Amino acid sequence: MLVTLRSFIYMVFLSLTTLVIAPALYLLKWVLPFPMLAKLGKLWGRLNLEAVGVICGLKYRIHGWDKLPRENCIVLSKHQSTWETIALRGLLPATNTWVIKRELLWIPFFGWGMAALDPIALDRKAGRQAIKQLLQEGRQSLAAGRWVVIFPEGTRTAPGEHIKYNLGGAMLGEKTGYPILPIAHNAGVFWKRRGLQKYPGVIDLVIGDPIPTQGLKAGEINRRVEEWIEGTVASLPQAR
C-alpha cells in the first residue's frame, strides 16, 4: 500500500513537471537555440530522476562513468521501463537526439516537448523509408555534435526477456564511423514496463567501452552490442 501511494505521488510530480516544461520547450523553440532547449530537457530528466529517489526510494548507481567519451557518439541502451528514458535524458550530455516512435509525438504535452528537442521520429511501418530517414537524420545530428540515443529493441522488455535487436543503430554506426556506446541496466526489476508501482531499491546502470564501427558491417556491430548489453544485464541483480 505504501509503495502504491508513493508511486502515485511521484506520478503526480512527473505529470506536473511535464505539464510545465513540455509547453515551455515548444514555445521557446521559436526563440532559443537548440543547446539551451536541450538544457531545459536535461533539467526535466534530472528533476524526475531525483524525485523518484526521494519519493519512492528508487536510487541508482552508475558503473563505468569514466568510459563516457568526450566526443559525441551513438548510444544504444537496454529498454525495460520508463526510468531509463528519464535517466538518460538527465545524465547524458544535454545536446542529444533521440530515435523514437512517431506516435509518441501525438501524446498531449509530452509529445510537444519531445518535438521541440528535434527527435528522429520514425514510422515503424515505413520499412526501408524509416531506415533511410534514420541514416539521413542521424548523420546530420552526429555531424552537428549531438549524441544519438537509440533503444535497439524498439520496445520495453521485461527482465529476463530478450528480443532481437534492430539493425538501425548499427547501420548508422557502419555508415558514419561513429563509435557506439552500449548501456545496460536492471531498471525493470524496480519499475515495471506496465503498472503504477515504483519499488524502492538501487538500479545499476552500466556504461560499456565504446564499440568501434569503422571497417565493420552492421551485422557484426549489432552482434557485439547485443552480446555485451544482454550479458551485462544478466549479471545484474534480478530481484528486489
Domains of the chain are 2-235 (3.40.1130)
Q: Is the dihedral of CA 35, 41, 127, 76 positive or negative?
A: positive
| Confidence (pTM) | 0.95
Distance in angstroms (rounded) separating the CA atoms of residues 76 and 78: 7
Distance in angstroms (rounded) separating the CA atoms of residues 203 and 49: 12
Note whether 199 and 58 are within 8 A (CB): yes
For the stretch 12-28, pLDDT in tens is 999 999 999 999 999 99
Distance in angstroms (rounded) separating the CA atoms of residues 145 and 222: 23
Q: Has residue 6 got a pLDDT over 90? A: yes
For the stretch 118-173, pLDDT in tens is 999 999 888 889 999 999 999 999 999 999 999 999 999 999 998 999 999 999 99
The whole-number pLDDT of residue 126 equals 80
Nine-digit cell string for 102: 512517431
Q: Name 64's Cβ contacts closer than 8 Å, sequence gap at least 6.
A: 206, 207, 208, 209
Distance in angstroms (rounded) separating the CA atoms of residues 182 and 209: 7
Question: 124 or 69: which carries more pLDDT confidence?
Answer: 69
Q: Has residue 193 got a pLDDT over 90? A: no
Residue 146, Ramachandran bin (φ over 0: left; ψ between -120 and 50: alpha; else beta): beta
Q: Has residue 217 got a pLDDT over 90? A: yes
Distance in angstroms (rounded) separating the CA atoms of residues 78 and 94: 20
Question: Bridge partners of 183?
Answer: 77, 207
